[in-house]
Structure 1
Amino acid sequence: MRRFFMGFVLALGLPLMAQAQGAEIEDVIGSQLEAFNARDVEAAWQYASPMIKGMFGEPGNFGMMVQQGYPMVWDNRDVRFLELREIAGVLYQKVMLRDASGGLHILDYAMIETPEGWQIDGVQILPAPDVGA
Structure 2
Amino acid sequence: MRAMTVLLALCSCVSLSVVPAASPEDAILAAREIIGQQIQAFLNDDPATAYAFASPAIREKFPTEAGFFDMVRRQYAPVYHPGNFAFGRARQDGGMILQEVLISGPDGKDWTALYQLLRQPDDSYRINAMHLVPAAPGPDI
Q: Which TM-score bucket, shorter chain as reference?
A: 0.7 to 0.9
Separation (CA, whole Å) in 2 of partners of 1:88 and 1:46: 23
Deviation at 1:103, TM superposition (A): 1.2
Question: Unmatched 5+ residue regions in structure 2?
Answer: 1-21
Q: Which residue of 2 aligns with 1:95?
A: 101
Amino acid at match of 1:28: I
| Partner SS state of residue 72, structure 1 | helix
Deviation at 1:94, TM superposition (A): 0.5
**Which structure exhibits the higher relative contact order, with contacts defined as CA atoms closer than 8 Å and separated by 6 or more residues?**
2
Q: 1:120 aligns with which of 99, 124, 127?
A: 127
Question: Unmatched 5+ residue regions in structure 1?
Answer: 1-15
Q: So what's the TM-score if we normalise by structure 1?
A: 0.81
Separation (CA, whole Å) in 2 of partners of 1:76 and 1:116: 29
Using a 3 Å threshold, how does the CA distance of structure 1 residues 68 and 129 change in structure 2: closer, same or farther? same
Using a 3 Å threshold, how does the CA distance of structure 1 residues 116 and 63 change in structure 2: closer, same or farther? farther
> When the two structures are aligned, how many residues end up with a matched partner?
118
Amino acid at match of 1:105: W
Deviations 1:65-88 (CA, angstroms, capped at 9, x unpaired): 001110101111321111112469
Q: So what's the TM-score if we normalise by structure 2?
A: 0.77
- 2:47 is the alignment partner of 1:41: yes
Using a 3 Å threshold, how does the CA distance of structure 1 residues 67 and 116 change in structure 2: closer, same or farther? farther
Please say which structure displays the higher CA radius of gyration.
1
Task: Point out the more displaced range, 29-38 or 77-86.
Answer: 77-86
Q: Which residue of 1 aligns with 2:19?
A: none
Q: 1:30 aligns with which of 32, 36, 41?
A: 36
| RMSD over equivalenced CA pairs, Å | 1.9
Deviations 1:5-25 (CA, angstroms, capped at 9, x unpaired): xxxxxxxxxxx8221111100
Task: Point out the more displaced range, 87-96 or 41-50.
Answer: 87-96
